């Protein structure tokens, strides 16, 4: 993820918007840079850890659940049918 992250356009948009919106309120550049970087690092550590932890928990708790598999197959079919029959015509 760290190697691919610089190629992510959403990450660039997030950085540019955060820099433009929040950095000027902090003060001069020597204070802006560590505050913005620190904010991103803190948020990413907390939120990515939470995301990974919850994903691991769900993976363990829902493993080999045949009912869930059937529900997901049904939902996938419904989404595909909805996309096919309600797609806007060109």
Is 9:22 a contact under the CB 8 Å cutoff? no
- 39: which 2 tokens? 């904010």
Is 62:70 a contact under the CB 8 Å cutoff? no
- pTM of the predicted model over 0.85: no
- 17: which 2 tokens? 């918007």
- Tens of pLDDT, residue by residue over 14-39, are 889 988 998 888 889 999 999 989 99
Instruction: Give the pLDDT confidence score for residue 47 in this predicted structure.
Output: 93
- 7: which 2 tokens? 């190629």
Q: In the chain, which stretches have pLDDT less than 70?
A: 1-2, 90
Instruction: Give the pLDDT confidence score for residue 78 in this predicted structure.
Output: 97
Instruction: Give the pLDDT confidence score for residue 76 in this predicted structure.
Output: 97
Listed by start position, the domains of the chain span 5-63
């Amino acid at each position: 993820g760290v190697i691919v992250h610089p190629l992510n356009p959403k990450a660039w948009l997030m950085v540019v918007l955060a820099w433009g919106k929040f950095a000027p309120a902090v003060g001069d550049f020597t204070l802006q840079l560590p505050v913005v970087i620190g904010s991103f690092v803190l948020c990413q550590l907390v939120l990515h850890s939470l995301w990974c932890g919850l994903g691991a928990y769900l993976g363990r708790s829902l493993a080999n659940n045949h009912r869930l598999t059937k529900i997901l197959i049904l939902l996938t079919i419904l989404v595909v049918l909805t996309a096919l029959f309600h797609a806007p015509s060109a």
